[in-house]
Amino acid sequence: MRILFISPNRLRLIVPPLPSGLASVAAAVKGRHEVRVLDFMFAEDPRADLRRLVSEFQPQVLALTLRNLDNQDSRDSVCYFPEVKDLISLLRGISPAPIIIGGAGFSIVPQALMDYLQADFGIVGEGEESFPAFLEAQETRNWAKVPGLVWRSGKKWVMNPLERIMDLAKLPPPALEHFTPRIYQDAEGSAKLPGMIPVQTRRGCPMQCVYCTTPLLEGSRTRGWPPEAVAAWLTRWHEQWGLTRFYFVDNLFSYPPEYARNLCLAIKNLRLPLEWGCLINPAFPDPELFRLIREAGCSMAQVGNESGAELVLSNLGKGFGREQVEETLRLLKEVDLPYSCFLMMGGPGETPDTVQESVALLEQFEPRLVNLTVGIRIYPGVALHRRAVAEGVVDPDDPLLWPKFYLSPAIRDWIWDYLEIVTARHPNWIF
């Protein structure tokens, strides 16, 4: 079967993100089917490229990915899925092939997106097994047996139950050969920093942050690839394309700690000139691990602190307190591991006092970079959504396709002028 994968994302926030999820699904089918990939990121005229490729290749299935719903900016929201709707309209005019959509953004609000986009099918969650199962079901059209498939039954959309891939080791590595990985590494994004190739080593998250969709999409049980397999990917990609910069997209790089230590040792033992970044959760401060992360080539750790105020951390369900944030930042300084931090302002219980408390904490430790956000994007099914409904912030029938934000009334009118003052004295604090 001829399959055309399409990555329409052209957004280059921070750095241009190589679509590793699509690369993983393409890898899962390329041995059994004829695969082409069209990546819009660096194309001069992607729609002309699309018309030409559809004409030449005559795909039998068109598979699109939607990475992000919107920019998560409460002050100036921009949605990305209307562009995908226009793309689907274009595809309808040039190909009779069925259109299936997946990706992280799609998986958050799948049925609302199917109504809006009018694709033929969707896949929620992990696609490495679901998408091949969908292709096999083309003959029998027994859609009910495809895990995570969204399909139309009569006038209604039906979503099949998800099935987690428990043994990630059986999956092939992402098929980066369908992209231009060296360009992704060299190209700058909005932060004017060189790019980094995304690498996922684990799926699932046991934390209970009230705003996060990861446990819904990936489950609360952590599943990982063998560290030696991940090291083998890095070696192969270095030898094939000269790649040296990577970013581990795992929500919890530092958990489980034994896995993190084994992964760092495997990377360190490669003795390759690699530099990489990762996300550190303050719930697990570990001086030995932080030292090993630095020795294995990490050049920047992102600390997912979100706040420095005890009340706000508790209300966000972060699973750690201010003391653990302070210990994490102190330990990172001790091992000379550069780090950035996040402040997510406006959650339940946020006041001018808690905001200033958080700012004062980060001013004390002086991170290399601080990312500031105001207001928290509300997603269906998370604890913050239930709270927002109870407080009348959102209507219970709102599918939340179009962005709505939780923003504490106590700071709504005050926060913007205050942050102008803060960022004026800290040019490396951005919002």
Q: What is the pLDDT of residue 264?
A: 98
Spell out a b/e string for 275-298, using b for 16 or more CB atoms within 10 Å of the CB, else e. Answer: ebbbbbbbbbbbeebbbbbbebbb
Among the residue ranges 11-25, 200-214, 403-417, the one predicted with the least confidence is 11-25
pLDDT of residue 236: 98
Mean pLDDT, the chain, integer: 96
Residues 6+ apart with CB under 8 A from 68: 9, 11, 80, 104, 105
The answer on pLDDT for 262 being more than 80 is yes
Strand pairing class (223-224; 156-159):
unpaired
What sign does the CA torsion over 259, 261, 263, 265 have? Answer: negative
162 pLDDT higher than 90: yes
pLDDT of residue 193: 74
pLDDT band at 194 (very low <50, low <70, confident <90, very high): confident
- Write out the two tokens for 355: 């905001």
**Beta partners for 198?**
247
Residue 232 has pLDDT above 70, yes or no: yes
Q: For the segment 31-88, what is each residue's pLDDT rounded down to a tens digit?
A: 899 999 999 999 999 999 999 999 999 999 999 999 999 999 999 999 999 999 999 9
Query: What is the predicted pLDDT for the residue at 64?
Result: 98
Q: If 0-12 CB within 10 Å is exposed, 13-18 middle and 19+ buried, where does residue 212 land? A: buried
What one-letter code names the amino acid at 81?
Answer: F
CA distance 407 to 391: 12
Omega of the bond leading into 399 within 30 degrees of 0 (cis):
no
Instruction: Compute the distance between CA of residue 249 and CA of residue 371 in angstroms, rounded to an integer.
Output: 17
Q: What is the pLDDT of residue 301?
A: 97
Which residues 6+ apart lie within 8 Å of 94 measured at CB? 50, 51, 54, 55
What pLDDT digit, counting tens, does each position of 133-152 carry?
999 999 899 999 999 999 99
Helix axes 415-425, 352-365, angle to 10 degrees: 10
pLDDT value at 191 more than 90:
no
Q: What is the pLDDT of residues 82-111, one digit of tens each?
A: 999 999 999 999 999 999 999 999 999 999
- How far is Cα 308 from Cα 311, in angstroms, rounded to an integer? 9
Structural domains in the chain?
2-159 (3.40.50.280), 196-430 (3.20.20.70)
The pLDDT tens digits of the residues spanning 315-360 come to 999 999 999 999 999 999 999 999 999 999 999 999 999 999 999 9
Q: Find the largest Cα–Cα distance for the chain.
A: 64
Q: Whole-model pTM above 0.85?
A: yes
Judge residue 80's burial from the number of C-beta atoms within 10 Å of its C-beta, 0-12 exposed, 13-18 middle, 19 or more buried: middle
Structure tokens at 250: 């795992």
Q: Please, are residues 297 and 274 in contact by the beta-carbon 8 Å criterion? A: yes
* Separation of alpha carbons 416 and 140, rounded Å: 57
**pLDDT on residue 181:** 96
